[in-house]
Amino acid sequence: MPRKKKENTSENTKLNENVHIENAGTVKSEVITEAIKSNFMPYAMSIILSRAIPEIDGLKPSHRKLLYTMYLMGLLNGKTIKSANIVGRTMQLNPHGDASIYETMVRLSRGNESLLNPYVESKGNFGKAYSKNMMYAASRYTEAKLAPICNELFGDIDKDTVDFVDNYDNTMKEPRLLPVTFPSVLCNVTTGIAAGMASSIASFNIREVCETTIALMKNKEHVISDTLIAPDFVGGGYVIYDKEELDKIYETGKGSVKVRAKYTYDKSYNCIDITEIPPTTTSEAVIDKIVELAKANKVKEISDIRDETDLKGLKITIDLKRGTDPDKLMQRLYRLTSLEDSFSCNFNILIDGKPGVRGVREILNEWVKFRLNCITRRVNFSLEKKRKQLHLLKGLSKILLDIDKAIKIVRETENEADVVPNLMIGFGIDETQAEYVAEIKLRHLNREYILKRINDIENLENEIAELEEILSSEKKKKKIIISELQNVIKKYDIGRKSEILYDVPDDTEIEEPAAADYPVTVFITRGGYVKKIKTANLRMSGEQKVKEGDEVERSVECSNKDELLVFTSRHQVYKAKLDDFPDTKASVLGEYLPGKLEMEEGETVLYTAVLKEYKGYMIFVFENGKLAKVDISAYETKTNRKKLINAFSDKSPLAAAVYLEEDTDIVITSQSGRNLLINTAVILPKTTKNTQGIQAMTLKKKSDKVISLHLYTPGEFEKEWRFRPKNLPAAGALLSAADIGEQLSF
């Protein structure tokens, strides 16, 4: 039997009756700008202040939470522990999930090679920043601990040098900033994208940063570039020195630095080994681009390329063809690939909760202010501690002057609770001092202990005086900062990783390799295909293969060094070198020009000219009977521009075009069958590409139009004079029966 549907109990019914949602189903109108302000603005502020932009200690909140957790776990000393353990503990401070925490750890690690001064010592596979395919292992397989340089991050953290705030669930405290003893904000690459703003900070050599800071503290007018030479990247390479651009970065915090890959040439194997690349690219991106250039026939000196990266580090090997100059090839690859790339600088950091793009001078001055505050708080902390200790010892000194009296008071006091008040009355000391005295062990009531305590009072008074002197003198505080910076240099300076190149020639000075000069035959089809075959191989070639419905329009014997001008339906001309087209054979279709030259969608080829040099003329005849003669030099450019617009007139549809090296006879034919024989010498050439030209043929009917143009063959017309006019424009003449017969036999 079918099961009966269970009825609602009276309790459920009662609950359903009582449920009421206020304003449910009502549509609330709200101004969109107000909605954005109330909803998006808090989110934007959150990611700016609490996520994407680094602060004066050089860390983002995610970095700080991870490192502080590791510090609390005692990982500043001792052995590494499983990364998964660290990630789990960090979630007490960072609620954004284990994946993002582990990615942060990976980037801070030595093994990943993202930072010039890594904060995490790693064990296991942490991937590589220079390779997108070399991924890091899961957190359960890797181990980590804090790097020695983290002593400079946490050295004073327990001395009230920075503020502490509640974590996200108010169960523990975390530092607002870390009391770094050097300007770490400039010592590691930091990038971040917030809402409406971003940050990109280049890394500098730790010695240069510390020396620049010291120099600025001694002289506010110090020239930054005298000590801070140029950025230094963990991946090494060459930094191309541009003083004007670097000064701009130092002054404004914005600009770009060119970084070039480093390579060596192995003569025995005739190969180039690239071992250092810019920080903005990866080995895969470099290899893919070089392969693309080789396939496009733009780089012909390479026979093979492979990634030979191993445990020793990055290595991209390029095998060269015989006779290749490796230095010249690399100069071209620098220009054509990301082997030379720019690192964009945008020194946007948070100071006192306010983001701003600042120059190096301002950043270092702000760091000095921050560090002076840390020193002041540290001294105050020590001073307060010593004052309390001195206060206790002064109370003890009063007791030690008459120990017997103190013993008598303790012995004669009946209640334990009255010992402290009686000592206060008996020696004129306060409660804190009396508590301290009451806790002294019996074994310490001897001469030696008494003398030591009295000496401690003297030492403490001297130390307190010294600390008070430091507090009252900014000069002394700066001396402490300078001493700490010098100590950082001694401990952690390992020299520059990126070499600096001076007086590098501009790209314009790099010569293009000359195209090989050998005879070829170019076949051009009506459908827009071009194939290049070595003339020597034509004897062995069969019939030229073309796409179904297509045909070879013409063939041109020329040199591999020649150029193509491809005129299209969008009144544009595309320029290409024949050397960029591969040598092929009769059995292939060839290169499809719209695809090869990256034409616009729907753009088709109208005419293709083959040029040995920019001499001669382009003849354009339009459907309205006009004819234009354009000097071919109008299409010559000093730069390697691939496309020119307004290549010919767009006032009337193009009927035909032809390239002439010198003036000759041409025949223009109309739809009505009339033919006009003209020698191009009678037409003045123009240098304006899109000139309308002159009216050459008169069209008697509105429906008539010019349909073709071809070179005249002597004897083509029985009575040549009938077709050659005395003046232009002219209507031309119809073919006679003899002319038609002659053409049919032809």
**Residues classed as catalytic:** 141
Kindly report the number of other CB atoms within 10 A of residue 114's CB atom: 22
The two three-digit tokens of residue 633, written as one number: 């030099």
Q: In terms of C-beta distances under 8 Å and separation of at least 24 residues, what long-range contacts does 410-419 make, across chains too?
A: 410/438
The two three-digit tokens of residue 535, written as one number: 């003339």
Q: Confirm if 346 and 357 have CB atoms less than 8 A apart.
A: yes
**Phi and psi at residue 729, to the nearest 5°:** -75, 160
| Helices and strands in the chain: count of H runs, count of E runs | 19, 33
C-alpha gyration radius of the chain: 42
Sign of the C-alpha dihedral, residues 471, 476, 480, 482?
Answer: positive
- Distance (Å, whole) CA 199 – CA 34: 28
**Using the 8-state DSSP alphabet, how is residue 155 labeled?**
T
Provide the pairing of β-strand 499-501 with 238-240: parallel
Q: Confirm if 662 and 655 have CB atoms less than 8 A apart.
A: no
- Distance (Å, whole) CA 163 – CA 174: 9
- Residue 180: C-alpha distances to residues 59, 153, 217, 355 (Å): 10, 4, 17, 20
Convert 249-292 into a string of H (helix), E (strand) and C (coil).
Answer: HHHHCEEEEEEECEEEEECCCCEEEEEECCCCCCHHHHHHHHHH
Largest separation between any pair of C-alpha atoms in the chain: 154
Q: Confirm if 239 and 230 have CB atoms less than 8 A apart.
A: yes
Q: What are the E-state strand segments in 448-550?
A: 499-501, 519-525, 529-534
Strand partners, 4: none
The two three-digit tokens of residue 263, written as one number: 């390579």
- Terminal-to-terminal C-alpha distance of the chain: 97
The two three-digit tokens of residue 405, written as one number: 């009296």
